[in-house]
A and B are shown apart, each in its own frame.
Chain A
């Protein structure tokens, strides 16, 4: 209610120094909820039209999506199970983004993390489970961390584009994994599905008590929260964001950009590596080609939809987990092909990216300046 508003009473009530109203004061925060929410709603409407063209009732669609993702306790567990690895792999893209880097190789770090975690577990057959699990987590994080550090190093010291190098490293990681799984690390009993030996049932980390959801979800929540604090509430994070904003300015004020890049890349890779460790220790029990299920790639989508905010990664991962969880129901009840869920994801992605243009331009949220 700026002075243009033709309500004299209100104009009088507000001091001439123009304390902005609630909407204006919290405009930025509201935008962060309103704009992605509207983008999501828009995407759902467009998807509904798309589905209607196939002769299906869009209202059924929305009902099944809700049922499948959040409608029952079983659905919630399904959604959270799918969200768990996505939080960790999304951080692999979101953290380097603070430095202005576009890392899309989370899948590679996940595979290397899984391979490292399995390797260490297989070398300590008689150790107590807790020791094995801690060693696996450490190995997974170090393996994944070093893997993404490779991309960071190539960028910092050799001028190689980190987007390309991290993507190509995914294929190298997959080749290494296949080579070891089909060669040196192969369990001779795994005839038609080359795999490593199993880490043993005792060493599995199991589920969160009372649920079917594995501990990867808790690791993800902790990692996302820690990343948020690191980026927005520490000097290190501030330095990283400065370097991300203007790398030359950062160098001029004496920030060690190389060290920042390497550290952030390590942390990013470590979280994807941890996702790999969890897939081994909570789901597969060994390493084989099943691990390349694309969590690393979906993580990129999550990170971009979260606008690279480590905290926003959590709800977005749950949302995508829910969409994926409901996908099966759409197939079974509506007879839609699996690809329809990809269409929905694509539409959401386009809407969210396009909605970026709206930030700071919504009239009623802007204070008068």
Chain B
């Protein structure tokens, strides 16, 4: 039942919440030239957001002269400040990757002011000139990969009905839903995306319910934007629907049903960051990029993806890689009939207007509030 499982989960979270990080004095392993700390809000093997970072952290571990310390399930409270301090004071970390959005303000900003010699690289935040210079934020335009996945979904869906299990109607999520839908409508102009918002980043029960409910309504390709796509992928595959992944490659979970997916490519980015960190200029305080910059990537196609879909998707991907492509350009109408981008206007990826997105485009069934 809904409540009982939520309450149990919340109880577990309750104790997990406090379960964090900390201290130690003596036995600090020496010898490493650079110690890097990774902090995750969820578990490292969630087949999702946190795993994408943890995979990259594991890749860094193999580099010579690098020591990586990690802590998972660190809540977005003063606990994360203590974890950062502990990594700095006791492990000798000089570069920290607090990877959850909610860590940035006030926690990362507070610690960056307190420890001016330590570098803080935050995933997802919007660094501004007013923030400490030893802090920075980076993120990827993963909507580019969603756009490509949308094309594949549009060709492969038999019903023309796509489903999207989403956490919250915030700009980053809306951008993904819209890009996926615009991609799908390139392939099939009549395709629709039905979206269900679960209300939070990790709600496995609601995610499963949303998945089932979408399939009951005739949806045959599903994707999602929640912290752990595992629930959606496994349930959809079990029900015979097809899956587009998110965060990481989900094909091990649903080898037959997996079409493709939008993945982070942190394992390509972080070694670059280490190089920049060692150089005189350091890591830029504000760092963004998409497919071209190799911050995101598209999963290899699954067995159900046809020739036509592969060809079209590969073409669009090649355009992104070669010169970039504006996904959001006028005339663009939202699903209430209002023009949100006028004809002739192109909103490139770095356009700050896109960071404020509050609409669902035509073809999306659902509402932001």
Chain A interface (Cβ < 8 Å from any Cβ of B): 64, 67-69, 71-72, 74-75, 78, 81-82, 86, 107, 167-168, 170-171, 178, 182-183, 191-194, 214, 279, 283-285, 288-291, 293-298, 301, 320-321, 324-329, 331-333, 337-339, 341-342, 345
Given known contacts A326-B23, A329-B23, A298 and B17 CB-to-CB distance under 8 angstroms: yes
- Taking a contact as CB atoms closer than 8 A, the residue among B82, B89, B101 that contacts A192 in the complex is B101
Q: Name which residue of chain A comes closest to B106, CB basis.
A: A285
Give a binary string over B25-42; 1 marks a CB under 8 Å from any A CB, 0 the rest.
Answer: 111000000000000000
Is A345 within 8 A of B26, CB to CB? no
CB within 8 Å for A71 and B23 given contacts A78-B86, A167-B7: yes
Known: A71-B24, A194-B170, A328-B22. A289 touches B70 (CB 8 A): no
The interface-forming segment of B71-79, B275-283, B311-319, B325-333 is: B71-79
Are A329's CB and B6's CB within 8 A?
Answer: no
- B interface, how many residues as a size bin? 35 or more
A331 to chain B, nearest CB (A): 5
CB proximity of B220 to chain A, nearest CB, Å: 30
Measured in the bound complex, the distance between the Cα atoms of B216 and A148 in whole Å is 40
Give the one of B15, B16, B75, B102 with max A CB within 10 A: B15
Contact A293 B15 (CB under 8 A): no
Please name 17 further chain A to chain B contacts, defined as beta carbons within 8 Å, in addition to the given A71-B25, A191-B171, A193-B102, sorted by A numbering.
A67-B26, A72-B25, A81-B78, A170-B10, A290-B77, A294-B11, A297-B11, A298-B14, A298-B15, A320-B18, A321-B18, A328-B83, A331-B21, A332-B87, A333-B27, A337-B44, A338-B71
Contacting residues, chain A, for B60 (C-beta < 8 A): none
Q: Check A338 against B16 for contact (C-beta < 8 Å).
A: yes
Residues of the B chain whose Cβ atoms lie less than 8 Å from the Cβ of A288 = 102
Tell me if A296 and B86 are in contact (CB < 8 A): no
B200 located at the interface, meaning its Cβ lies under 8 Å from any Cβ of chain A in the complex:
yes
| Distance in angstroms between the alpha carbons of A294 and B75 in the assembled complex | 9
Name 5 A/B residue pairs within 8 A (Cβ), A-sorted: A86-B18, A284-B77, A329-B90, A332-B87, A338-B19
Complex CA distance for A201 and B325, rounded to whole angstroms = 42
Complex CA gap A74/B76 in Å reads 20
- Tell me whether A324 and B86 are in contact (CB under 8 A): no
Q: Which of B31-87 contact A (CB under 8 A)?
A: 43-44, 69-79, 82-83, 85-87
Check if B15 sits within 8 Å of A191, measured CB to CB: no
Residue of A nearest to B74 (CB): A328
Q: Which residues of B contact A293 (CB under 8 A)?
A: 17-18, 75-77, 79
In the assembled complex, which residues on chain B have CB atoms less than 8 Å from the CB atom of A71? 23-25
B36 to chain A, nearest CB (A): 12
B15 touches A297 (CB 8 A): yes
- With a CB–CB cut-off of 8 A, which chain A residues contact B25? 67, 71-72, 75
A74, B88: Cα distance in complex, Å: 12
A191 to B124, CA, bound (A): 11
Residue of B nearest to A63 (CB): B27
Closest B residue to A341 by beta carbon equals B19
The complex places the Cα of A108 from the Cα of B24 at a distance, in Å, of 34
Among B12, B76, B82, B126, the one with the most A-chain Cβ atoms within 10 Å of its Cβ is B82
Taking the complex as formed, is B172 at the interface, i.e. its CB lies under 8 A from any CB of chain A? Answer: yes
Contact B15 A78 (CB under 8 A): no
Known: A71-B23, A338-B72. A301 touches B15 (CB 8 A): yes
- Cα distance A279–B83 when bound, in Å? 17
- The verdict on A338 contacting B43 (CB below 8 Å), with A294-B14, A298-B18 known, is yes
B196 to chain A, nearest CB (A): 16
Closest 7 interchain pairs by CB?
A328-B21, A297-B14, A294-B14, A294-B17, A324-B18, A75-B23, A338-B73
* Chain B residues within 8 Å of A78, by CB: 22-23, 82, 85-86
Contact A191–B13 (Cβ < 8 Å): no
How many angstroms between the C-alpha atoms of A99 and B366 in the bound complex? 48
Contact B170 A192 (CB under 8 A): yes
Which residues in B have their C-beta under 8 angstroms from that of A82? 18, 20, 79, 82
Closest to B10 in A: A297
Question: Is there a chain A Cβ closer than 8 Å to B168's Cβ?
Answer: yes
- Interface: B91 (CB within 8 A): yes
